[in-house]
Structure 1
Amino acid sequence: MDHLGPAIDTRPLFPVERAALLDLLDSLGPADWAAPTVCPGWAVRDLVAHLLNDHIRRLSGSRDSHAGAVFADDETLRAYLDSTNGEFVRAAQCASPRVMADLIGFLGPQLDALWATRDLHAPADLGVSWAQAADSDPTPAWLDIARDYTEFWTHQQQIRDAVGRPGADTPDLAGPVLDTFMRALPRALRGEDRPAGTAVVVELTGPAGGAWAAVRGEGRWALRTGAETPSAPAAYIAMDQDTFWRLATRGIAVKRARSLAETRGDPALIRAATAILSIVG
């Protein structure tokens, strides 16, 4: 799984991110809970319900081996998630904001304890389809856990956007999110066949930024970071870190993100790399 780059251990970050979320939720008034978010049709309270569902579903499946809802005939993963997420959010209308926040505060440490038992390099409980350069590629546990961290962090930022409260975006919390999202770069480029050694460099500006590269190997692209980033790539993209995380989670249109980026080199590689997606879909 060398194409994914070095492992990321996000486990120590979950309690810190959750504390910031719970402090935020405790400060919200009724109008804030009803504020619309970037997620179509969902207010802040619906997004919090979705986060609660994430905790319940993950503990039930990964700790308790509970199968959960089953796929309908010919149902895609995206359709399944949209359906089950929507059902939980609707059912959670009966729960008060305080109850939902209390439940996240209660279940979060249980999820921390679960992740603490995991061998980061063992096979994951769940695949991370957006980072698999080939559909048959296995997923290591560290990427599965990091994907959950990015889910929690992203939804907290969406809540903050909705209520006009910045925060939880310091390099220690945001940096691993950007690093995890960049693991989707080889998959984004998988339709572009180039000679071995061809490189695409993406540089993110901002306090939590850095540089990453996808380098073409034998039959696939592989992620390289830091000192391994090539100095003369076939394509180069520089983008603000805030634009990047929104691009990777459908929070900004691809065309808009490209207009905000500095690019040079192979146009096809730039188009592919800037279509990066780090959520299911």
Structure 2
Amino acid sequence: MLDVRRLFVRERAELLALLRSLSAEDWARETVCPGWDVHDVVGHVLNDYVRRISGSRDGFAGATFANDETLPSYLARTNDEFVRAARQCSPELMIELLGHLGPELDRLWAGFDLTAPAPLDVSWAGPGRSPAWLDIAREYTEFWVHQQQIRDAVGRPGADQPELVHPVLDTFLRGLPHALREVERPHGTAVRVVVTGPSGGTWHAVSDEGRWRMAGDETELSAGATVTMRPDDLWRLGTRGITVAEARRRADAEGDPALVEAVTALLAVVA
């Protein structure tokens, strides 16, 4: 279990300090998110705050699915609708709203039973009910990644301390079993992912009776494949800030090619 709740205050403080320092030109800079500038990404983060408070605190279902609409297309449509509406808001107002709603979101997380079923399942971590702690960790990665996208757009590195970055990597790598789901290997076959630097670590997934599972600290496992990546490359791969091909070019990999290919196609967003 990964409890990231204490990190929201710090991540948000870093974000608000960044936003208050931006010029009008910075707010209009394009980001890696297609069609969205910095103002739009901030509007999207505000949407995340509003959506989670409305849904988890107030039990409000929000927008309904259109006929035959898939989850990815539903999210793309509703996210775009909010971002377009937020273009009517000044940067100052959006900063004020984030600062006001953030503590309410913190109070919401604090009341969760981390071992209970999540209000929103984490589809990229596999089928079935997700625990609440994973849902909350997914939200932390969402906020942190969008902050990094803003920082990339305006050329302001930051919020990159290991204690802020490591939980993002840890959360994304909980998607390893799902990424490996179509690769069948004998029971006990292990995959090792090594992320370099002080933010990184070593993660294992192991084949267990026809399924893959995270293997914790079972470092005595003999890996059928090992993939080594830098932290920036891993989170950008998971959010498709870089392509799978580029991630594979940057990674160091050895062992079973099919396992390597599955790991380096890791996806940690709904797409």
Cα deviations by residue, 1:61-83 (Å, 9 ceiling, x for unpaired): 00000010000111000000000
Counterparts of residues 17-96 of structure 1 (less than 5 Å): 17-96=11-90
Return the TM-score normalized by structure 1: 0.95
The answer on 1:110 being equivalent to 2:104 is yes
Tell me, which stretches of 5 or more residues in structure 2 are unaligned? none
User: Is the contact between residue 49 and residue 101 of structure 2 (CA under 8 Å) also seen in structure 1?
Assistant: yes
Counterparts of residues 198-213 of structure 1 (less than 5 Å): 198-213=189-204
Secondary structure of residue in 1 paired with 2:174: helix
Aligned to 1:183: 174
User: Is the contact between residue 190 and residue 221 of structure 2 (CA under 8 Å) also seen in structure 1?
Assistant: no
Secondary structure of residue in 1 paired with 2:215: strand
Task: Kindly provide the amino acid, as one letter, of the partner of residue 111 in structure 1.
Answer: L
Instruction: Quote the Cα distance in structure 2 between the aligned partners of 1:94 and 1:272.
Output: 42
The answer on 1:269 being equivalent to 2:263 is no
Aligned to 1:130: 124
Secondary structure of residue in 2 paired with 1:228: coil
Cα deviation, residue 206, structure 1: 1.6
Cα deviation, residue 138, structure 1: 1.2
Secondary structure of residue in 2 paired with 1:252: coil
Counterparts of residues 138-217 of structure 1 (less than 5 Å): 138-217=129-208
Cα deviations by residue, 1:66-120 (Å, 9 ceiling, x for unpaired): 0100001110000000000101111111100010011011001000001101110
Task: Kindly provide the amino acid, as one letter, of the partner of residue 278 in structure 1.
Answer: A
Task: Kindly provide the amino acid, as one letter, of the partner of residue 11 in structure 1.
Answer: R
User: Is the contact between residue 202 and residue 237 of structure 1 (CA under 8 Å) also seen in structure 2?
Assistant: yes
Instruction: Quote the Cα distance in structure 2 between the aligned partners of 1:30 and 1:44.
Output: 10
Aligned to 2:213: 222
Ranked by relative contact order (alpha carbons within 8 Å, sequence separation 6 or more), the top structure is 1
Task: Kindly provide the amino acid, as one letter, of the partner of residue 242 in structure 1.
Answer: D
Return the TM-score normalized by structure 2: 0.99
Tell me, which stretches of 5 or more residues in structure 1 are unaligned? 1-6
Cα deviation, residue 59, structure 1: 0.3
Task: Kindly provide the amino acid, as one letter, of the partner of residue 262 in structure 2.
Answer: A
Instruction: Quote the Cα distance in structure 2 between the aligned partners of 1:154 and 1:261.
Output: 20
Q: Report the aligned-residue RMSD.
A: 0.7
User: Is the contact between residue 247 and residue 257 of structure 1 (CA under 8 Å) also seen in structure 2?
Assistant: yes
The answer on 1:279 being equivalent to 2:269 is yes
Aligned to 1:3: none
Instruction: Quote the Cα distance in structure 1 between the aligned partners of 2:210 and 2:103.
Output: 42
User: Is the contact between residue 201 and residue 230 of structure 1 (CA under 8 Å) also seen in structure 2?
Assistant: no
Aligned residues: 271
